[in-house]
């Protein structure tokens, strides 16, 4: 073990009956280039966990698996703080993760197997393969369909309803059940998954009739929402509030800056690789856009400096992905990490906006371009929109022009040549 520990932490480790196991775990973390601060922060937590389990009968490291849930509940109760539901889940995950990782690294538990695809009693076997191979749906879309249908499978099982005996009334009931659990956009995705399944089952001869037409589609009106953009002053305040003295701060600043300057989506930021940055040509290549195309941007001096500062401090890893998770094992950061960090920094800066996240910064980039009098066609191309109608929503952020219309100067605004 090469990490230098504070005297109090080292003393607690030496007196613990789990000392050898914790040291083996620390060596595992060091082999994955974990930061010394991360290791120092976890050791007291593991020592406390060992004491908790020993007092309740644990004698070997292998026995600890049975005490994880009880320890997390005890720590939450002893903290004595009230948290929101989301923060409560996050806190429990932070308590649980080091314990499970240590036992996994030492071979006392095996990685959890991914949940099986919903099969509805074997009736839908082969359906998800058809989505991938025949329809060519993206893995993320297939995963989303699998999640919706897994929830539906459980719901139907609770009501003792078999898929082969499904009726239009059962479908209506299922859609209503979904509607109480998700937003309109998600409900549309769930209904689409069910329609695809019912149509495929009929085609394969596993259902006597095609019930896909019975699945209603939620009514979503074009341009009904307002983009979740924020004023440029709040964008600057959010960026200035990031502590760039730490590796995580350097990473977060670079991620948020890419969304602000180029209007990138969280998935596009997470998918960036070292090969996408051409330092000599000073260009940034975004190859994995939502619609399957790619875009090449000029690499601004600000974005280049932020990326370079992070790459110089980035944890050592063989991954070609630009952005890496902050804690060991250093895997590539996925779109969830990007969106989560954007949400946290927006909240930390005191920005009040509906559903803060990565799209808040993307919409703010579009608003900035609109205020600079760029045309919707240029803005759509810059943001990577496939069709012009996707950009029309940003007409609702032209606040000053809309205010002039409301005040009675609409003819001059809408018809400036007259």
Catalytic residue from among 67, 262, 310, 394: 394
Cβ distance 260 to 361 under 8 Å?
Answer: yes
The domain that contains 289 carries what CATH number?
Answer: 1.10.443.10
Specify if 37 maps to a domain: yes
Structural domain that includes position 295: 232-365
Is 285 in the same domain as 347? yes
When pLDDT is averaged across residues 237-262 and rounded to a whole number, the result is 93
- Look at residue 237 in the predicted model and tell me its pLDDT: 93
Residue 265 annotated in active site? yes
Residue 405 DSSP symbol: I
Q: Pick the residue with more confidence: 38 or 339?
A: 339
| 310 plus 241 within the same structural domain | yes
Per-residue pLDDT band at 356 (split at 50, 70, 90): confident
Residue whose entry in the numeric block shows the structure tokens 């060519």: 136
Would you call 385 a catalytic residue per the annotation? yes
At 225, the pLDDT band (50, 70, 90 cuts) reads: low
316: left (phi > 0), else alpha (psi -120 to 50), else beta? Answer: beta
Structure tokens at 35: 């930061």
- Model confidence at 413, in pLDDT bands (50, 70, 90)? very low
Regarding whether 197 and 148 lie in a shared domain, the answer is: yes
Burial class (CB in 10 A: 0-12, 13-18, 19+), 411: exposed
Regarding whether 346 and 308 lie in a shared domain, the answer is yes
Query: Active site residue: 265, 314, 341, 345, which one?
Result: 265
Phi, then psi, of 163 in degrees rounded to 5: -65, -35
* 394 belongs to the catalytic site: yes
Annotated catalytic residue, options 32, 237, 290, 331: 290
290 is a catalytic site residue: yes
Output Rg (C-alpha) for the chain, integer angstroms: 26
Burial-class residue 352 by CB neighbours within 10 Å (0-12, 13-18, 19+): exposed
């Amino acid at each position: 073990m090469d990490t230098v520990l504070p005297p109090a932490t080292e003393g607690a480790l030496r007196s613990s009956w789990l000392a050898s196991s914790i040291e083996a775990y620390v060596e595992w973390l060091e082999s994955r280039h974990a930061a010394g601060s991360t290791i120092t922060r976890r050791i007291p937590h593991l020592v406390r966990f060992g004491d908790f389990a020993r007092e309740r009968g644990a004698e070997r490291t292998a026995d600890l698996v049975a005490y994880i849930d009880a320890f997390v509940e005890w720590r939450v109760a002893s903290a004595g703080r009230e948290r929101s539901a989301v923060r409560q889940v996050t806190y429990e995950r932070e308590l649980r993760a080091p314990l499970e990782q240590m036992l996994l690294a030492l071979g006392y538990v095996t990685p959890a197997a991914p949940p099986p695809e919903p099969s509805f009693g074997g009736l839908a076997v082969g359906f998800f393969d058809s989505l991938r191979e025949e329809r060519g749906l993206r893995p993320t879309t297939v995963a989303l369909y699998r999640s919706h249908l897994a929830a539906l499978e459980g719901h139907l099982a609770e009501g003792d309803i078999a898929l082969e005996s499904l009726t239009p009334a059962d479908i209506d009931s299922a859609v209503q059940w979904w509607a109480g659990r998700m937003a309109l956009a998600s409900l549309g995705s769930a209904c689409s998954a069910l329609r695809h399944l019912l149509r495929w089952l009929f085609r394969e001869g596993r259902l006597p009739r095609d019930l896909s037409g019975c699945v209603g589609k939620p009514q979503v009106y074009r341009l009904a929402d307002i983009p979740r953009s924020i004023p440029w002053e709040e964008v600057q305040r959010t960026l200035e509030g990031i502590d760039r003295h730490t590796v995580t701060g350097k990473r977060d600043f670079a991620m948020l800056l890419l969304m602000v300057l180029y209007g990138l989506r969280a998935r596009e930021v997470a998918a960036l690789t070292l090969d996408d940055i051409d330092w000599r040509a000073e260009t940034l290549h975004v190859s994995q856009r939502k619609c399957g195309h790619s875009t090449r941007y000029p690499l601004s001096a600000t974005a280049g400096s932020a990326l370079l500062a992070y790459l110089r401090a980035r944890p050592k890893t063989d991954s070609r992905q630009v952005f890496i998770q902050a804690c060991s094992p250093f895997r590539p950061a996925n779109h969830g990490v990007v969106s989560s960090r954007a949400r946290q920094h927006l909240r930390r800066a005191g920005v009040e906006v509906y559903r803060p996240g990565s799209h808040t910064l993307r919409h703010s980039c579009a608003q900035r371009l609109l205020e600079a009098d760029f045309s919707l066609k240029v803005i759509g191309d810059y943001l990577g929109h496939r069709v012009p109608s996707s950009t029309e929503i940003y007409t609702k952020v032209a606040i000053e022009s809309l205010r002039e219309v409301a005040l009675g100067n609409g003819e001059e605004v809408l018809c400036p040549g007259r």
